[in-house]
Structure 1
Amino acid sequence: MSMDLLNIARTGVLASQAQLAVTSNNIANVNTQGYHRQVAEQSSLESQRLGDHFYGAGTYISDVKRIYNEYAARELRIGQTGASEAQTTQTKMGELDQLFSQIGKSIPQGLNDLFASLNSLADLPDDMGIRGMVLGSAGQLADNLNQMQSHLDGQMKQTNDQIAGITDRINEISKELGQLNQELMKSQGEDAQLLDRQNALIQELSQYAQVNVIPLDSGAKSIMLGGAVMLVSAEVSMSLGTMVGDPHPGELRVVVNIGSQSQAIDPAKMGGQLGALFAFRDETLIPAELELGQLSLGVADAFNQANGQGFDLNGEMGQNIFKDINDPAMSVGRVGGFGSNAGTANLRVNIDDVGLLSGNSFELKYTAPATYELKDTVTGSVTPLTLTGTQLDGANGFSIHIDSGAFSDGDKFEIRPSSGAAAGISVVMADGREIAAAAPKITADTANSGNTSVEMVSIDDRTDTKFPLTGSELTFEINTTTSMFEVFDANGTSLGAPAAYAPPSISAHGFSFDVATTAGATDRFTFDLSFAPGDNSNAVAMANLSEAKLMNSGGSTLSDVYQGTKISVGGKAKAADIAAGTAQSVYLQAYNRVQSESGVNLDEEAANLMRFQQAYQASARIMTTANEIFETLLNAVR
């Protein structure tokens, strides 16, 4: 019986020793990231029969379990993905909001300075110093727009670099998970240390994208990203890569490499940091760039048109102050053809009416034999276009020209009418004398139909004997139905028989003008093209552009376009702050749940340490007792 006591005591000592080892390991790893608490399960040895009774034979450690709840771990991964996505969005939106609020404030200030200088010019239209100040203000505004676009380009590059960096880290994790799966398959998924390492990598992966985990019977786990991309299949690791954008090369894409093939991943399904970066770039940064380009087109077009309506100090019609809105430097990136296109069409976008532009991007799709559809990517509205010669008409504010090649069925193009304008805008006027502060006097007859309007194009010869000046004005009677016109002097005397003109231009008596009509009619316009250096009427008209609703189909001023973008960015930044707080709360709830089950509680482990220590000591005391009994028995028979 003493030997039985000794064996029982021995099993108790060994079991307590194992319990102490597991508890000590838990305490030692209390600060180890990804460590899951372990528990030694203790069971009784099979009973032994003595006579009519069964006696216990001791204890043993039947298993060492890793406390892991798959459901809680899944909730933690989901919470991690949401929190990382929200945090990334908050950071990127905060950077962009700061950019618009601090550096971007120079743009409305530049507009105000330009209008202020034009008001000064209206007071002293022949002052060369003020004229130089107007050009200086215009140049500073163009520089501010260039600088803002440069900062937005920096945001684009930074975002692309972050996407590439995350892709590289995902590939590193993919390789590690494949190697861990190989080791786990050897132990049938029983090695707790490997499982903790695997879980930590999967948890990190969930920061970058949505993760789906598929446990395998072999002890390994297959990993999917975004619910569609198999990243790890048992011991086989896939890899992600980056490619130039399609159709715009500067907008990086993420692809999954399968053998020698690469397949683009839909960023909207990724979630996590990757999804947030793509969403920020595509839904906020690019639209902000396009709206800045819309403002740049509006500034250039408004002041060029206004200056073109007046006389400069040389008595000539005013020329462009800013670079023409359809100059190649102002139109970079307006058209992007998709790589899947089979056709050879080379397109160009021409801005016809800046006021009708929305700042949105569009998708042009061709369906054979002759269907052209333009889809607004923001509103989703589809507009059919009409091909006239090599020009597609029907879009609001712009037309699409086929410079060369031909379409194939299914060809698609992305159209961004305002792209490149903020980077390309610049002042082309070098001499302040060319600012057209004076204005011609063109009077429409009160009996006109209202269907016809005229616009000055050029002064061709002020020395013409019939050139219209004050007191010797000329009246043009224009029949827009037959494209004929007749000229009368100030006394109402005809200067010749009616003559034909080629719409829209009429050139006569030293000047040229365009005629626009909405319906055929016979209307009269009187021209007084006198020139005086002190005339400020066109300078006043240019200064009044500050209040004119020139943009977004008459709904916005120039300043409103920028303020609208700034407010939109600010609103998204505020929403991102709120979303980040909410997502963090959800993550912390999931984290605390995992910790309550799998985390190490030092108080609990300290109590276990004392309990198992006492059990060890008690088992050791049994051994001492068994030894004493044995010694007593030996002494009794000596």
Structure 2
Amino acid sequence: MKDLNYRLEQLKNDINNEIKIRIDEINGYLKRIADLNQKILTSSSISGSPNDLLDERDRLLDKLSELSNIRITSHSNGQISLSMGDKVVLNGSSYQEIRSLTIAETNDEYYAYVGNNPLTFDDGKMAALFELRDEIIPSYQQQLDEFGLYLVDSTNLIYKEGWDSTGTITGANFFADISTKRGFEDARLFRIAGNSDVFHSDTIQYVTSLSSFYSDPSIDLNNFDLYTVDSAASPSHYNNNNSIIHDSTNNAIYFDDPSGFQNKLVVDIKGDFLREYGFPTKEIKAYKIDPDNVQPGNLEFEIFGEDCNISFSDAGELVSNINSGSGGYLKAEEIDGFIYILPTTKIPDADLDTIVLNDVDGSLSQMEAQKVTLDALDTSKPTLNNLLGSNEIIEMSINGIKIEINPLKDTVYDLADKINATNTGVTASVTPHGSFVLRAGNLINFDLKNVTIKGPEKLFNALGFIEDDSNNIVTLISPYISPEQIDEKFSKADLLRIDKELGIVNQISVSSNLKENPSLLATDLGYYDTNYSPTGGGNVSVWDEISKMYDNSVLDNGRIGFSNFLGNIVTDIGVKGETADKMRLNSEMLNSEISLEKERVMGVSIDEEMTNLVKYQQAFNASARVITAVNQMMETVINNLGVV
């Protein structure tokens, strides 16, 4: 990216130098045309039509018209006036020199001036050069900046949530800091990241079915084998019918359990409830054992360096000793004539395979234990009512475009999708540890201060942006909020401000600490059990998550992923190049036809000249014969008449 940006910058500098050369060339043509005007005026007053001078002036005007759009006004005395853009640059034998001047803070870029006024070229080679330098090349540089900016920021936000292989270092960046080193007045507010974990509110009280129910299904949980698995207690049958609510307004059913689902699994043993009623589910592994097959034995397992040893003599002891002696990682319960050994939330993702099981004496084999897959209630994407504490529908807006939020059904991912769908230049995403992120796209010049975002204060507080928490509708950000107010308002959030100029891609580099100590590379995103903790060596979830960015539609205002972005740039260049080539061919054909028509009117026709030559030759011969006849007649009269 740096190399491509360097080449574009070099091309831009070459075009800038050519602009100065072309302005000098235009001045040369103007000077010669002014001189010809003077000579034409003098010649016309002395010897009639100065054809050679007029032809030379036409030739110079043709050259000038290739560089710029010009307007010519002819006068009765053979003189002309010439305009470029809205400026008269030549009148008769006098002309105004076009100056090439640089403007402060434009990297020594040349601009055309007539006197003290800027001259704008609307057509011709000069217009093309200015468009290339000031619009086309910067647009591609901006796209490279956008790619680099999103790559660096997205990677860093994920990376800093991970731990190194030792599980001791976290919170560092992979890429070096690209935030502005100038004052905030001269910076763009690119990103706001909330400091709340939107996945793990204090209590996950609500879980909503993904299906629609237009009438109350009248569910009796006593008819289903739903069991709660908690690291602090033995599994128990979940039969709280009061926790299943039907909402006729939203045509939905949902769990409403004040005790919360955040630290327990709700397992559907038979698999006939959660999926049947459309609740979000995840698959977990468990051991299933027939109590009649239980024989005295011993089970050993290891997790996070902790060793557990469970001895038992019968089915009752197996269940009891697992519940009391497994460190809260495993729980067991006899359900419908089978013993189920279940993982708890204390194990990362409740993944039974995380445990290193040492079946030393073959107890599991002897008991013919089966590893089965069960459905469990998935609370990893909680609905927004868990953050807001209410099912009341609310609204936020971006530049007046309203976004309706239904806390009963919408998750933070749904909220991010709705924000991205507004096409306002504001994009939203969520990090693995639940930080809600707002970024500015190219539509608003990568500056969130160019939009107005309004909504309930309690929503912005729940997303971790601001401290205040009320039901009032407030303005989160707008062009009228000062940098000082932004700092005060977002004191709890993580802000990224960037420079206003192009060239951010040149700032991209791996952090110096990581280059000096590669062993500090973060790899493990950890797992959640009341807090985030490192999983341990061998976990590369940080890079698994970063690799998912490949297809995430975050670029170009949330429309394109990293995988297609650079390819789209190449395609765009190719299409524009082909279009320009076709326009060049069309222009050449049109110019050729106009030139032929011009030659037909103004040029010399060989056929016509030959015809005239023959005509005048015959006329000359006829005139000569008349003169000869007259001479003979005169001679006869003088010499022969009157002679006697």
Q: TM-score, normalised by structure 1?
A: 0.51
Q: Which structure has the greater CA radius of gyration?
A: 2
Equivalent residue number for residue 61 of structure 2: 202
Whole-angstrom distance in 1 between the partners of 2:478 and 2:126? 33
- The partner residue of 1:626 within 630, 634, 639 is 630
Contact (CA 8 Å) 1:351, 1:398: kept in 2 or not?
Answer: no
Task: State the SS of the aligned residue for 2:538.
Answer: coil
Amino acid at match of 1:326: S
Q: Deviations over 1:269-309 (max 9, x none)?
A: x3111112222333321111111111011222222222212
Amino acid at match of 2:612: N
Whole-angstrom distance in 2 between the partners of 1:255 and 1:393? 45
User: Aligned ranges for residues 568-579 of structure 1 at < 5 Å?
Assistant: 568-579=572-583
Whole-angstrom distance in 2 between the partners of 1:399 and 1:611? 90
Q: Deviations over 1:498-538 (max 9, x none)?
A: xxxxxxxxxxxxxxxxxxxxxxxxxxxx33335x3322222
Equivalent residue number for residue 51 of structure 2: 192
Task: State the SS of the aligned residue for 1:384.
Answer: coil
Equivalent residue number for residue 592 of structure 1: 596
Q: Deviations over 1:328-352 (max 9, x none)?
A: 5xx9xxx9xxxxxxxxx96233532
Contact (CA 8 Å) 1:164, 1:242: kept in 2 or not?
Answer: yes
Amino acid at match of 1:385: Y
> Per-residue deviation at 1:362?
5.0
Whole-angstrom distance in 2 between the partners of 1:536 and 1:271? 57
- The partner residue of 1:440 within 526, 531, 534 is 526
> Per-residue deviation at 1:417?
4.6
> Per-residue deviation at 1:606?
2.1
Amino acid at match of 2:96: M
Contact (CA 8 Å) 1:290, 1:360: kept in 2 or not?
Answer: no
- The partner residue of 1:427 within 491, 507, 510 is 510
> Per-residue deviation at 1:151?
0.8
Equivalent residue number for residue 231 of structure 1: 89
When residues 550 and 626 of structure 1 are mapped into structure 2, their CA distance, relative to the original with a 3 A threshold, is same
- The partner residue of 2:33 within 154, 169, 177 is 177
Whole-angstrom distance in 2 between the partners of 1:422 and 1:527? 33
When residues 544 and 622 of structure 1 are mapped into structure 2, their CA distance, relative to the original with a 3 A threshold, is same
- The partner residue of 2:567 within 533, 544, 563 is 563
User: Aligned ranges for residues 34-113 of structure 1 at < 5 Å?
Assistant: none
Contact (CA 8 Å) 1:310, 1:436: kept in 2 or not?
Answer: yes
User: Aligned ranges for residues 534-573 of structure 1 at < 5 Å?
Assistant: 534-573=538-577
- The partner residue of 2:24 within 157, 168, 171 is 168
Q: Deviations over 1:400-454 (max 9, x none)?
A: 98xxxxxxxxxxxxx97572112222233314322211222125xxxxxxxxxxx
Whole-angstrom distance in 2 between the partners of 1:316 and 1:255? 59
Contact (CA 8 Å) 1:213, 1:223: kept in 2 or not?
Answer: yes
Task: State the SS of the aligned residue for 2:175.
Answer: coil
Equivalent residue number for residue 119 of structure 2: 265
Equivalent residue number for residue 291 of structure 1: 143
Q: TM-score, normalised by structure 2?
A: 0.51
Contact (CA 8 Å) 2:191, 2:440: kept in 1 or not?
Answer: no
- The partner residue of 1:385 within 451, 467, 480 is 480
Whole-angstrom distance in 1 between the partners of 2:558 and 2:9? 30
When residues 582 and 598 of structure 1 are mapped into structure 2, their CA distance, relative to the original with a 3 A threshold, is same
Whole-angstrom distance in 2 between the partners of 1:574 and 1:598? 35
User: Aligned ranges for residues 391-540 of structure 1 at < 5 Å?
Assistant: 417=500, 419-428=502-511, 429-430=514-515, 431-443=517-529, 475=530, 526-530=531-535, 532-540=536-544
When residues 242 and 195 of structure 1 are mapped into structure 2, their CA distance, relative to the original with a 3 A threshold, is same
When residues 384 and 319 of structure 1 are mapped into structure 2, their CA distance, relative to the original with a 3 A threshold, is closer
When residues 426 and 566 of structure 1 are mapped into structure 2, their CA distance, relative to the original with a 3 A threshold, is same
User: Aligned ranges for residues 144-163 of structure 1 at < 5 Å?
Assistant: 145-163=1-19
Contact (CA 8 Å) 1:182, 1:234: kept in 2 or not?
Answer: yes
Task: State the SS of the aligned residue for 2:553.
Answer: coil
Whole-angstrom distance in 1 between the partners of 2:35 and 2:487? 57
- The partner residue of 2:188 within 349, 358, 361 is 349
When residues 289 and 393 of structure 1 are mapped into structure 2, their CA distance, relative to the original with a 3 A threshold, is farther
Superposition RMSD in Å: 3.5
Whole-angstrom distance in 1 between the partners of 2:502 and 2:489? 20
> Per-residue deviation at 1:163?
1.7
- The answer to whether residue 71 in structure 2 is matched with residue 216 in structure 1 is no
Amino acid at match of 2:35: Q
When residues 433 and 274 of structure 1 are mapped into structure 2, their CA distance, relative to the original with a 3 A threshold, is same
When residues 634 and 283 of structure 1 are mapped into structure 2, their CA distance, relative to the original with a 3 A threshold, is same
- The answer to whether residue 601 in structure 2 is matched with residue 601 in structure 1 is no
> Per-residue deviation at 1:238?
0.8
Question: Percent of aligned positions with the same letter in both sequences?
Answer: 21
Q: Deviations over 1:13-33 (max 9, x none)?
A: xxxxxxxxxxxxxxxxxxxxx
Task: State the SS of the aligned residue for 1:437.
Answer: strand
When residues 577 and 627 of structure 1 are mapped into structure 2, their CA distance, relative to the original with a 3 A threshold, is same
- The answer to whether residue 176 in structure 2 is matched with residue 317 in structure 1 is no
> If each structure's helix is expressed as a fraction of its own residues, which one has the higher value?
1
When residues 146 and 393 of structure 1 are mapped into structure 2, their CA distance, relative to the original with a 3 A threshold, is farther
Whole-angstrom distance in 2 between the partners of 1:151 and 1:302? 26
Amino acid at match of 2:99: G
> Per-residue deviation at 1:166?
1.6
Whole-angstrom distance in 2 between the partners of 1:264 and 1:621? 70
Task: State the SS of the aligned residue for 2:595.
Answer: helix
Contact (CA 8 Å) 2:553, 2:562: kept in 1 or not?
Answer: yes
Whole-angstrom distance in 1 between the partners of 2:451 and 2:134? 19
Task: State the SS of the aligned residue for 1:321.
Answer: coil
Whole-angstrom distance in 2 between the partners of 1:295 and 1:183? 60
Contact (CA 8 Å) 1:325, 1:351: kept in 2 or not?
Answer: no
> Per-residue deviation at 1:225?
0.9
> Per-residue deviation at 1:614?
2.5
- The partner residue of 2:128 within 257, 263, 276 is 276
When residues 348 and 363 of structure 1 are mapped into structure 2, their CA distance, relative to the original with a 3 A threshold, is closer
Task: State the SS of the aligned residue for 1:385.
Answer: coil
Q: Deviations over 1:51-101 (max 9, x none)?
A: xxxxxxxxxxxxxxxxxxxxxxxxxxxxxxxxxxxxxxxxxxxxxxxxxxx
Which moved further from structure 2: 298-307 or 194-203?
Answer: 298-307
Contact (CA 8 Å) 2:185, 2:483: kept in 1 or not?
Answer: no
Equivalent residue number for residue 253 of structure 1: 111
Alignment gaps of 5+ in structure 2: 193-425, 428-438, 453-476
Query: Aligned residue pairs: how many?
Result: 364
When residues 390 and 299 of structure 1 are mapped into structure 2, their CA distance, relative to the original with a 3 A threshold, is same
Amino acid at match of 1:389: E
Contact (CA 8 Å) 1:312, 1:435: kept in 2 or not?
Answer: yes
When residues 374 and 219 of structure 1 are mapped into structure 2, their CA distance, relative to the original with a 3 A threshold, is farther
Task: State the SS of the aligned residue for 2:88.
Answer: strand
Task: State the SS of the aligned residue for 1:386.
Answer: coil
Whole-angstrom distance in 2 between the partners of 1:393 and 1:635? 128
Whole-angstrom distance in 2 between the partners of 1:439 and 1:400? 22
Ranked by relative contact order (alpha carbons within 8 Å, sequence separation 6 or more), the top structure is: 1
Alignment gaps of 5+ in structure 1: 1-144, 336-344, 365-371, 376-381, 402-414, 444-474, 476-525
Task: State the SS of the aligned residue for 1:276.
Answer: helix
Task: State the SS of the aligned residue for 1:389.
Answer: helix
Contact (CA 8 Å) 1:232, 1:238: kept in 2 or not?
Answer: yes
Amino acid at match of 1:359: N
Contact (CA 8 Å) 1:322, 1:426: kept in 2 or not?
Answer: yes
Contact (CA 8 Å) 1:180, 1:194: kept in 2 or not?
Answer: yes
> Per-residue deviation at 1:310?
1.4
When residues 152 and 388 of structure 1 are mapped into structure 2, their CA distance, relative to the original with a 3 A threshold, is closer
